[in-house]
Structure 1
């Protein structure tokens, strides 16, 4: 998959940002997640996991590990998207902008 699709619209694509996403996705795999996305929003990373894996992602020890590891990658804020993983999630902002009156 193209890692640049993990960056928020308007965010310049750089090797450092792509590397952070790639390393973040490796962290998720090593923690046993199977269906997920790491979304880069500057200082904020938004983690999407499959709804079936949400309980696991919310376990205290997993939350602490995710926060520690993603902060080590340079993210100030580590968030979990409660809607879960879904394709096209980065396009939701475009739909909201184009549907405003």
Structure 2
């Protein structure tokens, strides 16, 4: 089970033991765009940086030069605190994004999949 895997990971002192479950990183790239190791690395690295700032959940959507961070809506105000905002922007630029944005709609699971079937209202 997932809890058993997490327990073994804790016993082995693996840093992923308490990492929240998350869908495939490729789901953060819009449908029809190529999925590359570089894009996946950018997404993963920026999501790690978001978690390092103490956020409970996040998704980074890859829009070419723009990394769009989705957070739980109740945590959005904290993302605007000057030190945290600066850390997120710096982390995004370090990963290769030219621009880093915070999505004011908050986190939405399956956003790009919803757009494929015509149920998503933004991109």
Q: TM-score category by the smaller chain? A: 0.7 to 0.9
Aligned twin of 2:39: 17
User: Are residue 71 (structure 1) and residue 93 (structure 2) matched?
Assistant: yes
SS in 1 for 2:33: coil
- Between the aligned partners of 1:5 and 1:58, the Cα distance in structure 2 is 26
- Quote the offset at 1:92 in angstroms: 5.2
Alignment TM-score, normalising by the size of structure 2: 0.72
> When you count strand as a share of all residues, which structure comes out higher?
1
Higher relative contact order (CA 8 A, sep 6+): 1
- Between the aligned partners of 2:31 and 2:67, the Cα distance in structure 1 is 14
- Between the aligned partners of 2:99 and 2:43, the Cα distance in structure 1 is 14
Rg comparison, structure with higher value:
2
- Quote the offset at 1:61 in angstroms: 1.2
Aligned twin of 1:39: 61
Deviations 1:46-86 (A, max 9, x none): 10000111111111111111111100111011011000012
Alignment TM-score, normalising by the size of structure 1: 0.86
